Structure 1
Amino acid sequence: MAGDSVSTRGKTVVLSSLPLQILLYLNGWYFALFWIGELLLFIYKATLLPYPGANFAAEAVILIFMAGIEYVRLFLGKKGNLTEKIIHLGVSLGIGLATLFFGLYLFLWQTYVLRIELILVAIEMAFLFFEAIFGLIAIITFARAESFR
């Protein structure tokens, strides 16, 4: 499964991070539910609450961009972890900053913030935090293994 596993004394050592892979997998499912929930809440707020100016369109665009960026981030994270490629994990962590910004927008700055949204976004931010920690650990592990080759 791993692309560039380290070989020591005829044995292959897999360096991929299992906790990172589990988090990426679970975050994929959670983000799908999160996005559907945010979409339904967005429709609910749009029908009951008055939106000033272009805020409605801007928040709809942010929700769509967030889905695309998160899909790419999760794909690169899984690929980078399984193939043990530092560049893929690094790009995934960089894209995670964009997801973090969108999450902060939903958490703090959108026009109307409901309590359920605070909970949903906080869980997504927790996934991002732990994936960043385990992603950095995996990058360090992969870099050390490369230096021994």
Structure 2
Amino acid sequence: MAEGTPFASGAERLPGSRRTLGAGRRGAGPRDKMAASQRAALRVNYLRPASLKVCYSISPRARHPRSSARLAKRWEALKRTVKRGSEGKKTLMNVKSAQVMTGRASSTVLSSLPLQMVLYLSGTYCALYFLATLLLIVYKSQVFTYPHSYLVLDLTLLFLMGILETMQLYFGTKGNLMEAEVPLAASLVLTVGGALLSVYFLLWQTLVLRADSALSATLLALHSLEAVLQVVAIAAFVS
């Protein structure tokens, strides 16, 4: 047997020895290199921690072509969820800071639902009252003897009443929804002014018809109810 043969046969009999690995590195072919790279990849995957495996499975850059699209969708959904959660936290912090700045950090709603309903009803009725009273004034000026100076006075007070009602509804709705005392107090003052004008059209205008009496009495009742609810709401806001 020639020299060097035992070493070669020993290398063949011991595939896991260092001599065999060294010989494989020196004279390895393409297939042997591919097998060595696969064994190294398996060894790395076996030694990888569980946390890294989880992160690797969630990452969209997966090596497996079949699961890359699915994992990319999961990754995008996870990012959208995190983004929505951060936006919700920012909104909640803004609301809390606004409540702290206004001095109301409690979660109790102090806005009055009956007042809001009466304000809505009053706004609708005031629009109808304005149109009906304007038509009645035109009718009375054509049918009855209506002095020009009194006609101008009644029309001026009617338009002034429309402006006051618009401002009163605006400040009342704003103060009730924002739980603010100052706009609601301004709305209360304007409500009193509108009630006085409704009393004028009920009793003191130049010509008072039955239709005028019915319309003005209904408006006066709405103004009285508004004033009571506004006082109650302001007391609740202050306390």
Calculate the TM-score normalised by the size of structure 1.
0.89
- What is aligned with 1:147? none
Query: Counterpart of 1:42 in structure 2: which amino acid?
Result: I
Rate the CA distance shift 1:108–1:32 in 2: closer, same or farther, 3 A.
Answer: same
Structure with a larger share of its residues in strand:
1
User: Kindly, what percent of the aligned residue pairs are identical?
Assistant: 37
**How far, CA to CA, are the matches of 2:195 and 2:227 in structure 1?**
11
Alignment of 1:132-147 (within 5 A): 132-144=227-239
Decide which moves more: 92-101 or 17-26: 92-101
Q: CA RMSD in A?
A: 1.4
**How far, CA to CA, are the matches of 1:120 and 1:5 in structure 2?**
42
- What is aligned with 2:166? 71
SS at match of 2:111: coil
- What is aligned with 2:154? 59
Alignment of 1:1-149 (within 5 A): 6-8=104-106, 12-144=107-239
Query: Counterpart of 1:48 in structure 2: which amino acid?
Result: V
Query: Counterpart of 1:123 in structure 2: which amino acid?
Result: T
**How far, CA to CA, are the matches of 2:103 and 2:209 in structure 1?**
47
**How far, CA to CA, are the matches of 1:122 and 1:137 in structure 2?**
23
Calculate the TM-score normalised by the size of structure 2.
0.56
- What is aligned with 2:83? none
Query: Counterpart of 2:208 in structure 1: which amino acid?
Result: V
The answer to whether the 8 A contact 2:192-2:227 is kept is: no
SS at match of 1:111: coil
SS at match of 1:54: helix
Paired positions, count: 139
Instruction: Using the TM superposition, give the Cα deviation of residue 86 of structure 1 relative to its aligned residue in structure 2, in angstroms.
Output: 0.4
The runs of 5 or more residues in structure 1 that have no matched partner are 145-149
**How far, CA to CA, are the matches of 2:232 and 2:202 in structure 1?**
28
**How far, CA to CA, are the matches of 2:103 and 2:147 in structure 1?**
55
The answer to whether the 8 A contact 2:195-2:224 is kept is: no
**How far, CA to CA, are the matches of 2:103 and 2:236 in structure 1?**
11
The answer to whether the 8 A contact 1:106-1:113 is kept is: yes
Structure of greater relative contact order (alpha carbons < 8 Å, 6+ residues apart) = 1
The runs of 5 or more residues in structure 2 that have no matched partner are 1-98
Decide which moves more: 98-107 or 134-143: 98-107
- What is aligned with 2:34? none
In our comparison, the structure showing a higher alpha carbon Rg is 2
Deviations 1:99-121 (A, max 9, x none): 11111110111010001111111
